[in-house]
Amino acid sequence: MSTFKAPKGTYDLIPPDSATYLAVREAIAAPLKNSGYGYIETPGFENVELFARGVGESTDIVTKEMYAFTTKGGDELALRPEGTASVLRAALEANLHKAGNLPVKLWYSGSYYRYERPQKGRYRHFSQVGAEAIGAEDPALDAELIILADQAYRSLGLSNFRILLNSLGDKECRPVYRAALQEFLRGLDLDEDTRRRIDINPLRVLDDKRDEVQKQLVGAPLLGDYLCDACKAYHTEVRDLITAAGVAFEDDPKLVRGLDYYTRTTFEFVHDGLGSQSAVGGGGRYDGLSEMIGGPSLPSVGWALGVDRTVLALQAEGIELDIPAGTSVYAVPLGEQARRVLFSKVTELRTAGIATDFAYGGRGLKGAMKAANRSGARYAVVAGERDLAEGVVQLKDMESGEQEPVALDALVEKLTSRLG
């Protein structure tokens, strides 16, 4: 055992479990790739100010959870706690919005970091797949992203998840609601830190998960009652488009999520089998974020889905993904001459696109066949000196146990035909 262990609140992905995580990432990305979203990758750390401005200085993410540090050169940086601000920064820096083809549709996958109290489903290092549609104010985009996330989860076989939906209004109607909410909140018995949030961003108080706060929020004014006509019409169209696509959702008038940049549409995917950490993903529209970080007005919408929690959701529903074995053929040489000949054939098989492994270390037949079984290989190729003298190898079907001699020169063609 090593002297060192993974840092608290983090984890290592190790085979065979890591194959499930890869399959989840691919399942979430698949509908995005099929809908015009291009892949983007950003650095694991950014300027602290990017998140302070974009995510919000009053959020727990910035005030309590962000890993911030000063470099030797004096730069103030932070490990990225979320993906949207980084993706938008990269798109602006590359002038993607000036290409004349809006919206810019991007998807990403990566690790994110927050200093949280570790528990099941909540880690200090976690993985997400996200999507952003930048530069267009269109309810069809909001609906598209919700539908694509629903498709991704359905493709994994998940069924016990719900979509919560709300509208947070815009710069026209939210100030009126903000004032009404502040007046209500100032009459409550709240701690000093929470009262400070009333002045900075009162919607953050609605997102407080503590029971003693939630009990006092009964009767709080709801944003839906303050939406302007434009926001009401926008939200109605989003709902209609989702409904027409056959995607079920629930209206949640208190849904605000944990980031300050959201406007109008906001949504969350929750799974009933995960206990307190029930949110598996979410997102919304963020029409003012570009201007917050120094860019032009670019209305946008996006989401991020947690890979870790999606895996937990699969476990909660008892779903085992059908993941193909990483190895189709396992070569077992018996003797030095067979080792050289089969190693050459392994290279040929791999070049032909057949996943092939080799019995390294000079292990005997019994040990090598056990390794072949553990690899999940469909076929084993065994060869000794007598086989090679006859110009053949022994091809064993690992499922049926049947074995047959195959001419060495015909091996690649035979396996290519059998494995399709």
pLDDT digits (tens, 9 = 90+) for 258-281: 566 788 999 999 998 887 778 999
Local confidence band at 58 (pLDDT 50, 70, 90 cut-offs) = low
User: Is 93 marked as binding a ligand?
Assistant: no
Is it the case that residue 181 has pLDDT exceeding 70? yes
Domain of residue 413: give its range. Answer: 329-419
User: Is 123 marked as binding a ligand?
Assistant: no
pLDDT of 209 = 76
- Out of 55-59, 92-96, 207-211, the most confident range is 92-96
| 187 falls within a domain | no
Q: What residue type is assigned to position 205 of the chain?
A: V
- Which CATH number fits the domain that encloses residue 46? 3.30.930.10
User: Is 264 marked as binding a ligand?
Assistant: no
User: Is 83 marked as binding a ligand?
Assistant: yes
User: Is 128 marked as binding a ligand?
Assistant: yes
* Pair 268, 142 in one domain: yes
* Pair 24, 168 in one domain: yes
- Which CATH number fits the domain that encloses residue 362? 3.40.50.800
pLDDT of 100 = 80
Q: Output the pTM of the full model.
A: 0.89
Q: Point out which residues pair with 39 in neighbouring strands.
A: 107
Tens of pLDDT, residues 97-156: 998 889 999 999 999 999 988 878 788 999 999 999 999 999 999 999 999 999 999 999
* Pair 114, 158 in one domain: yes
Helix axes 17-33, 307-316, angle to 10 degrees: 110
Structure tokens at 266: 């906001």
| 216 falls within a domain | no
pLDDT of 191 = 86
* Pair 308, 355 in one domain: no
pLDDT of 64 = 78
User: Is 385 marked as binding a ligand?
Assistant: no
Is it the case that residue 300 has pLDDT exceeding 70? yes
Structure tokens at 411: 């091996």
Is it the case that residue 305 has pLDDT exceeding 80? yes
* Pair 246, 101 in one domain: yes
| 107 falls within a domain | yes
Query: What is the average pLDDT score of the chain?
Result: 91
| 53 falls within a domain | yes
| 69 falls within a domain | yes
pLDDT of 260 = 66
Block residue for tokens 């109607």: 173
Structure tokens at 80: 């990225």
CB 379 within 8 Å of CB 395:
yes
User: Is 37 marked as binding a ligand?
Assistant: no
* Pair 380, 295 in one domain: no
Local confidence band at 231 (pLDDT 50, 70, 90 cut-offs) = very high
* Pair 138, 160 in one domain: yes
The backbone torsions φ and ψ at residue 264, rounded to the nearest 5 degrees and listed phi first, read: 50, -120
| 261 falls within a domain | yes
Is it the case that residue 59 has pLDDT exceeding 70? no
* Pair 339, 302 in one domain: no
* Pair 79, 132 in one domain: yes
pLDDT of 57 = 63
| 191 falls within a domain | no
67-71, 181-185, 203-207: segment of lowest average pLDDT: 203-207
**Looking at residues 65-74, what average pLDDT do you find?**
92
* Pair 112, 148 in one domain: yes
Cα–Cα distance measured from residue 143 to residue 247, given in angstroms and rounded to the nearest whole number: 10
- Class of residue 363 by CB neighbours under 10 A (exposed 0-12, middle 13-18, buried 19+): middle
Cα–Cα distance measured from residue 164 to residue 45, given in angstroms and rounded to the nearest whole number: 31
User: Is 257 marked as binding a ligand?
Assistant: yes
What domain count does the chain have? 2
| 55 falls within a domain | yes
* Pair 262, 347 in one domain: no
In which region does residue 417 sit, left (phi positive, over 0), alpha (psi from -120 to 50) or beta (all else)?
A: alpha
User: Is 265 marked as binding a ligand?
Assistant: no
Cα–Cα distance measured from residue 407 to residue 136, given in angstroms and rounded to the nearest whole number: 62
**Looking at residues 65-70, what average pLDDT do you find?**
91
Structure tokens at 413: 């063609």
